[in-house]
Chains A and B, each alone.
Chain A
Amino acid sequence: NAGVTQTPKFQVLKTGQSMTLQCAQDMNHNSMYWYRQDPGMGLRLIYYSASEGTTDKGEVPNGYNVSRLNKREFSLRLESAAPSQTSVYFCASSEAIRESYEQYFGPGTRLTVT
């Protein structure tokens, strides 16, 4: 039981390049989330998926797209990376979005955009 896994762990991009961050969970959770963590700030929600087939914007969605590929997988895509997207990205999942379920976090992806 791996919980929430993310790939890659580290990535360096040049401005304008694109990439997709992958996330998978094996806990049969319905809801999945993408956050970013920047120094001096709390975790900020980028996008979330309440259930398979649905996605919605969070607090900071600009510059990102997501795909809920199936119940297990939720990917985050940067179409044209910018230095402001340098951050640590965390994927998380929970049994449901509106019930009082805790979120389980992946190990994070450290992204640097030069």
Chain B
Amino acid sequence: ILNVEQSPQSLHVQEGDSTNFTCSFPSSNFYALHWYRWETAKSPEALFVMTLNGDEKKKGRISATLNTKEGYSYLYIKGSQPEDSATYLCAFMSNSGYALNFGKGTSLLVTP
């Protein structure tokens, strides 16, 4: 079992605020880091799959960075909207196995 930690556990911001969360994972044997967005009563949907140290990916107002040497990834949301309210999951894959190891998620609530 590989330890993947996400912080904060939950976050409440106002519409228009920018926010970010952290995913920490083992810095050795890195293969890939996934980010998923999980809305209530739906199933998780992929945001990013990141494989290279220094990778930065962007999708609309959401972006992510990756530091494999120190074992962390940041997810940023610029100008949060109520529809961004969801749980954001990160998942780590090592190069010694096939499993995605999921963190417990960061629950984001954006209020108007």
Contact = CB atoms under 8 A, between A and B. Distances in A.
Interface of A: 4, 40-45, 48, 50, 56, 58-59, 90, 97-98, 100-108
A48 B105 CA distance: 22
Interface string B1-24: 100100000000000000000000
Give the interface size class of chain B: 20 to 34
B98 A40 contact: no
Main secondary structure of the interface of B (DSSP, over half): loop
13 contacts: A41-B104, A42-B89, A42-B103, A42-B104, A45-B100, A48-B98, A59-B101, A90-B43, A100-B31, A103-B34, A103-B44, A105-B44, A107-B43
Interface string B87-107: 001010000001111111100
A45 B99 contact: yes
B53 interface: no
B30 to A, nearest CB: 12
Given A42-B89, A43-B89, A106-B43, A100 B32 contact: yes
Contacts of B44: 43, 90, 103, 105
A105 B43 CA distance: 6
Contact of A101 (B42, B43, B49, B99): B49
A100 B32 CA distance: 7
